[in-house]
Amino acid sequence: MAKIEQYHAIGRRKSARARVFLRPGSGQVIVNGASGDDYFHRETLMMIVRSPMVLTETQSQFDVIANVDGGGKSGQADAVKLGISRALTLYNLDLRGTLKKGGFLTRDARAKERKKYGQRGARARFQFSKR
Protein backbone atom coordinates (compact mmCIF):
# COMPACT_ATOMS: atom_id res chain seq x y z
CA MET A 1 0.00 0.00 0.00
CA ALA A 2 1.47 3.34 -1.10
CA LYS A 3 1.55 6.06 1.53
CA ILE A 4 -0.14 9.29 0.45
CA GLU A 5 2.14 12.28 0.88
CA GLN A 6 0.25 14.93 2.82
CA TYR A 7 0.88 17.85 5.12
CA HIS A 8 -1.18 18.32 8.28
CA ALA A 9 -1.65 21.45 10.40
CA ILE A 10 -4.16 22.92 12.85
CA GLY A 11 -5.63 26.41 12.66
CA ARG A 12 -7.72 28.20 15.28
CA ARG A 13 -9.78 31.39 15.41
CA LYS A 14 -12.16 32.45 18.22
CA SER A 15 -13.71 29.11 19.23
CA ALA A 16 -13.28 27.47 15.80
CA ARG A 17 -10.72 24.73 15.21
CA ALA A 18 -9.67 23.38 11.81
CA ARG A 19 -7.58 20.31 11.07
CA VAL A 20 -6.19 20.85 7.58
CA PHE A 21 -4.63 18.27 5.26
CA LEU A 22 -2.82 19.32 2.07
CA ARG A 23 -2.55 16.56 -0.53
CA PRO A 24 -1.15 16.78 -4.04
CA GLY A 25 -4.08 17.46 -6.36
CA SER A 26 -5.88 19.98 -8.51
CA GLY A 27 -6.94 22.68 -6.06
CA GLN A 28 -10.18 21.27 -4.63
CA VAL A 29 -11.29 22.49 -1.20
CA ILE A 30 -13.32 20.01 0.87
CA VAL A 31 -14.65 21.10 4.27
CA ASN A 32 -16.39 18.56 6.52
CA GLY A 33 -17.08 16.30 3.53
CA ALA A 34 -18.70 19.03 1.39
CA SER A 35 -17.10 21.21 -1.25
CA GLY A 36 -15.82 24.52 0.07
CA ASP A 37 -18.32 26.52 -2.00
CA ASP A 38 -21.22 24.52 -0.56
CA TYR A 39 -19.97 24.70 3.03
CA PHE A 40 -18.98 28.39 3.04
CA HIS A 41 -21.98 29.91 1.27
CA ARG A 42 -20.37 33.34 0.72
CA GLU A 43 -17.72 33.87 -1.93
CA THR A 44 -15.79 36.18 0.41
CA LEU A 45 -15.23 33.29 2.85
CA MET A 46 -13.84 31.13 0.04
CA MET A 47 -11.54 34.02 -0.93
CA ILE A 48 -10.26 34.04 2.67
CA VAL A 49 -9.70 30.27 2.60
CA ARG A 50 -7.85 30.35 -0.74
CA SER A 51 -5.77 33.48 0.00
CA PRO A 52 -2.59 31.74 1.33
CA MET A 53 -2.47 29.47 -1.72
CA VAL A 54 -3.08 32.39 -4.09
CA LEU A 55 -0.27 34.38 -2.44
CA THR A 56 2.20 31.49 -2.74
CA GLU A 57 0.87 30.46 -6.19
CA THR A 58 0.17 26.88 -5.09
CA GLN A 59 -3.62 26.85 -5.63
CA SER A 60 -3.48 24.24 -8.43
CA GLN A 61 -0.90 21.99 -6.71
CA PHE A 62 -2.85 20.84 -3.64
CA ASP A 63 -6.25 19.60 -2.60
CA VAL A 64 -7.35 20.91 0.80
CA ILE A 65 -9.26 18.61 3.14
CA ALA A 66 -10.39 20.37 6.33
CA ASN A 67 -12.30 19.12 9.36
CA VAL A 68 -13.81 22.10 11.17
CA ASP A 69 -15.78 22.43 14.38
CA GLY A 70 -16.81 25.20 16.76
CA GLY A 71 -17.52 28.86 16.13
CA GLY A 72 -19.30 30.37 13.15
CA LYS A 73 -18.57 30.26 9.44
CA SER A 74 -16.33 33.35 9.43
CA GLY A 75 -14.19 32.09 12.32
CA GLN A 76 -14.01 28.67 10.68
CA ALA A 77 -12.83 30.21 7.40
CA ASP A 78 -10.05 32.06 9.24
CA ALA A 79 -9.11 28.86 11.08
CA VAL A 80 -8.83 26.97 7.77
CA LYS A 81 -6.73 29.84 6.36
CA LEU A 82 -4.27 29.57 9.26
CA GLY A 83 -4.16 25.77 8.92
CA ILE A 84 -3.41 26.00 5.20
CA SER A 85 -0.67 28.56 5.86
CA ARG A 86 0.97 26.36 8.49
CA ALA A 87 0.74 23.28 6.26
CA LEU A 88 2.32 25.17 3.36
CA THR A 89 5.33 26.00 5.54
CA LEU A 90 5.70 22.26 6.25
CA TYR A 91 5.63 21.64 2.49
CA ASN A 92 8.25 24.29 1.70
CA LEU A 93 10.03 26.33 4.36
CA ASP A 94 10.92 28.98 1.76
CA LEU A 95 7.22 30.00 1.65
CA ARG A 96 7.38 31.01 5.33
CA GLY A 97 8.79 34.49 4.63
CA THR A 98 6.07 35.25 2.06
CA LEU A 99 3.28 34.02 4.34
CA LYS A 100 4.73 35.82 7.38
CA LYS A 101 4.97 39.10 5.47
CA GLY A 102 1.33 38.69 4.36
CA GLY A 103 0.25 38.12 7.99
CA PHE A 104 -1.01 34.59 7.38
CA LEU A 105 1.01 32.86 10.10
CA THR A 106 -0.19 35.09 12.94
CA ARG A 107 -2.89 33.53 15.12
CA ASP A 108 -5.64 36.13 15.64
CA ALA A 109 -6.00 36.10 19.43
CA ARG A 110 -9.17 38.20 19.54
CA ALA A 111 -12.05 36.35 21.17
CA LYS A 112 -15.27 37.23 22.96
CA GLU A 113 -14.65 38.90 26.29
CA ARG A 114 -16.43 37.26 29.21
CA LYS A 115 -19.36 38.88 31.01
CA LYS A 116 -18.41 40.18 34.44
CA TYR A 117 -20.55 39.85 37.56
CA GLY A 118 -22.35 43.01 38.68
CA GLN A 119 -22.50 44.20 35.07
CA ARG A 120 -24.90 43.74 32.19
CA GLY A 121 -22.22 42.48 29.82
CA ALA A 122 -18.47 42.36 29.31
CA ARG A 123 -18.16 46.16 29.45
CA ALA A 124 -21.73 47.47 29.66
CA ARG A 125 -22.91 48.39 33.16
CA PHE A 126 -26.41 48.36 34.59
CA GLN A 127 -28.12 51.74 34.32
CA PHE A 128 -27.09 54.07 37.11
CA SER A 129 -29.63 56.35 38.74
CA LYS A 130 -28.43 59.10 41.05
CA ARG A 131 -31.96 59.81 42.34
pTM of the model: 0.91
Residues facing residue 62 across a β-bridge = 24
Q: Are 16 and 79 in contact (CB under 8 A)?
A: yes
Q: What is the pLDDT of residues 20-76, one digit of tens each?
A: 999 999 999 999 999 999 999 999 999 999 999 999 999 899 999 999 999 999 999
pLDDT digits (tens, 9 = 90+) for 82-106: 999 999 999 988 999 999 999 999 9
* Residue 76 parent element (H or E): helix 73-91
Cross-strand pairs, 7 = 22
pLDDT of residue 2: 63
Structural domains in the chain, sorted by start: 7-101 (3.30.230.10)
